[in-house]
Structure 1
Amino acid sequence: MDFLSLFFMDFIKQLQSPTLAFLIGGMIIAALGSELVIPEAISTIIVFMLLTKIGLTGGIAIRNSNLTEMILPVLFSIITGIAIVFIARYTLAKMPKVKTVDAIATGGLFGAVSGSTMAAGLTVLEEQKIQFEAWAGALYPFMDIPALVTAIVVANIYLSKKQSRMTEELIREESFAKEVVMAGEYHSSPDYPTTRQEYLSQQQNKSKKGVQIWPIIEESLRGPALSAMLLGMALGIFTRPESVYEGFYNPPFRGLLSILMLVMGMEAWSRIGELRKVAQWYVVYSLIAPFVHGLIAFGLGLIAHYTMGFSMGGVVILAVIACSSSDISGPPTLRAGIPSANPSAYIGASTAIGTPIAIGICIPFFVGLAQALMGG
């Protein structure tokens, strides 16, 4: 009963907080057909400032902390990001009318991290006066990059195997050789296979090239979200930015976050229509996955808490970034890495349902769970 009462109390407080209020407000005015438009340039600047501030906070904290304290949380962040992709691969991908490559891309987006959701979680912890390590926000890239890399690698391996099976089936067909021989107009092209053996050889050569890991990592690092955060982190570690941090980045943090929540609420409502184009299982997945992913990270965080003194606030942050789904850097990275995947599936599932669930329900849920455990 203590947990339930704490959870409902925190949930009511969260409903009254600017973070969720602006998110819900954005969805309401979008549903009512409001013509309010926040210019994309303004949203880009807000995201840059929020993530740079989080990076600066983490960088300054890393410079002043014992790095050994970060080992388990960093390791658990990597494990969680990778595990989320495989969860989608072997659950969502098995559902009727769900394409495997779309499910893998969805897992990659849910395994990657939402900077806005993390910012909302940090704000709630500060409002609740729950202590957490200042470097906890620096766990972002350790979950984000492995998830995106894993999704792209797994998807390309799947597509490569699928192509190989299709090739073998074509070779088994007797008509294949006849059709190629009859297509005389293509014989002058050196790239066109004139025999079954040549066709098979070309496909085998393609499969041997494999999936290049570094270009995927490079693409992720170049994304606007990670670039801003890593820049802030590097400046916090190697320079002394405390004066500009306290004078410029820290004061407007919550105000900028409220505007971003408004924008995300409006976008979430606009994306709901995209989910109608894909299987209903994406809706089910989007409702359940944030809780499952967050609970996995929360459990791993408890191990770090009891073995290395990782704070309960830090455990909540680990759970929050796990229940989030990337809304900035993830979509363009997946579009480039898995071009055959349907963006309406993974972006619609993330933005329309996953993000509101993570911010509106999962954050107060994990805060309540942490407080119940600390109180017990």
Structure 2
Amino acid sequence: MEIAADIVSTVFAQLQKPTLAFLIGGMLLAALGSRLTVPDAVYKFIVMVMLLKVGLGAGMAVRDADLLSLAVPAVSAALIGIVIVLLGSQTLVRLNGVARSDGMATAGLFGAVSASTLAAGMAMLEAESIAYEGFIGALYPFMDIAALVTAIVLARVAARPETVAISQGDGTAVLGGGGSPLLERGGLGADTIRDILLDTFRSPAISALLLGLAIGVFAKPDGVFESFYSQLFYGLLSVLMLIMGMEAWARLSDLRKTAHAYVIYGLVAPLVHGLLGFGAGLIIHNVTGFSAGGVVLLAVMASSSSDISGPPTLRGALPEANPSAYVGTSTGLGTPVAILSIPLFIKLAELTIGF
């Protein structure tokens, strides 16, 4: 009971911090019918600056990082993204009222990473003076791309016409009913996989993050990083959280058009996925000495659902999927639950590892 009370008190204390306060404030404004709006151009600018900041910081850290210290978390992040999608394919996709393409798109978003949630996690750790590896931002594309590619490939494989062996007069057999590029040369089409990867890499979020990462590794952006990006980070994050809160409340109406299974998934999946990421982080901690803050942020990335790179990628790759289902579940429920659960992962890290 004492541990539970401790966790609850930690969560309530974090709710008073600016990051979560602005998120909840945005939801309240939208619920009360406020006409406050933030221009889309401003939102895109904020996201770009924040992703460049995360990428630059990660790149500068990668430049001096030990290869093993980076490789193990990177591979783990990719595996976590794949496992989350596979879990979704065995749970959400099998529930009544859930179309397979919609379910796989939703699982893909939940396996991918939310830039705003990751930024919120970093801000909360820094506010508590909890250290974490600077290269954490470099793990973003590993989990993000692995999850999106897995979801798209599984959805396309499931959507292909059934193949049937047809006996020929000369004793040979051919496959009929095909035609999907995923079956080219007896396997997944190389062109299809390449197109999915290119679409993902070209998405605004991944492009900005990878650019910042490359500049951080190969150039010396320390001065502009400290004088510009670091100085703006918390102010821009507060505006982003306000936008996310208003957007989350607006998206809740989309869920009325979909099955109740999405509501359950949106509430439960972030916690389950976060615990999966936390468990993987503990293993990495024991193998490489991964910091407690790093464990928390790996859990945060796992619990988050993509709000920037994922939706446009899935719209292009799976046009048959219903955005009200996967975007509504992700933004309306997944993102707020993931952000509000960050204090839980911080407390778990304190209890299991210590700061």
- The TM-score with structure 1 as length reference comes to 0.88
Asked if residue 370 in structure 1 is aligned to residue 344 in structure 2, the reply is no
Kept in 1, the 8 Å contact 2:270–2:302? The answer is yes
Q: Distance in 1 between matches of 2:28 and 2:195?
A: 40
Alignment map for 1:1-376 (pairs within 5 Å): 1=1, 3-160=3-160, 163-164=161-162, 203-206=177-180, 208-209=183-184, 210-211=188-189, 212-360=192-340, 362-375=341-354
What SS does the corresponding residue of 2:231 show, helix, strand or coil?
coil
Kept in 1, the 8 Å contact 2:26–2:242? The answer is yes
Q: Max radius of gyration: which structure?
A: 1
Aligned equivalent of 1:183: none
C-alpha displacement of 1:204: 2.5
Alpha-carbon distance change, 206 to 76 in structure 1, aligned in 2, over 3 angstroms: closer
Alpha-carbon distance change, 314 to 68 in structure 1, aligned in 2, over 3 angstroms: same
Q: Distance in 2 between matches of 1:71 and 1:300?
A: 14
Name the amino acid aligned to 2:85: V
What's the RMSD between the two structures over aligned residues? 1.7
Kept in 2, the 8 Å contact 1:2–1:372? The answer is no
Alpha-carbon distance change, 3 to 213 in structure 1, aligned in 2, over 3 angstroms: farther
Alpha-carbon distance change, 347 to 13 in structure 1, aligned in 2, over 3 angstroms: same
Deviations 1:139-159 (A, max 9, x none): 100100000000000000000
What SS does the corresponding residue of 1:204 show, helix, strand or coil?
coil
Kept in 2, the 8 Å contact 1:57–1:236? The answer is yes
C-alpha displacement of 1:3: 3.6
What SS does the corresponding residue of 2:353 show, helix, strand or coil?
helix
Aligned equivalent of 1:176: none
C-alpha displacement of 1:5: 3.8
Structure 1: tracts of 5 or more residues without a match:
172-199
Deviations 1:60-83 (A, max 9, x none): 001112122112111110111001
Q: Distance in 1 between matches of 2:74 and 2:265?
A: 26
Deviations 1:166-213 (A, max 9, x none): xx7xx9xxxxxxxxxxxxxxxxxxxxxxxxxxxx98843445334411
C-alpha displacement of 1:55: 0.4
Percent identical pairs in the alignment equals 51
C-alpha displacement of 1:372: 1.0
Q: Distance in 2 between matches of 1:271 and 1:83?
A: 26
> When the two structures are aligned, how many residues end up with a matched partner?
341
Structure 2: tracts of 5 or more residues without a match:
167-173
Name the amino acid aligned to 1:221: F
Q: Distance in 2 between matches of 1:21 and 1:159?
A: 43
Kept in 1, the 8 Å contact 2:73–2:284? The answer is yes
Kept in 2, the 8 Å contact 1:73–1:304? The answer is yes
Deviations 1:217-245 (A, max 9, x none): 11111111111111111000000000101
Q: Distance in 2 between matches of 1:110 and 1:204?
A: 30
Deviations 1:10-54 (A, max 9, x none): 211211011111111111111111111100000011000101000
Q: Distance in 1 between matches of 2:179 and 2:268?
A: 41
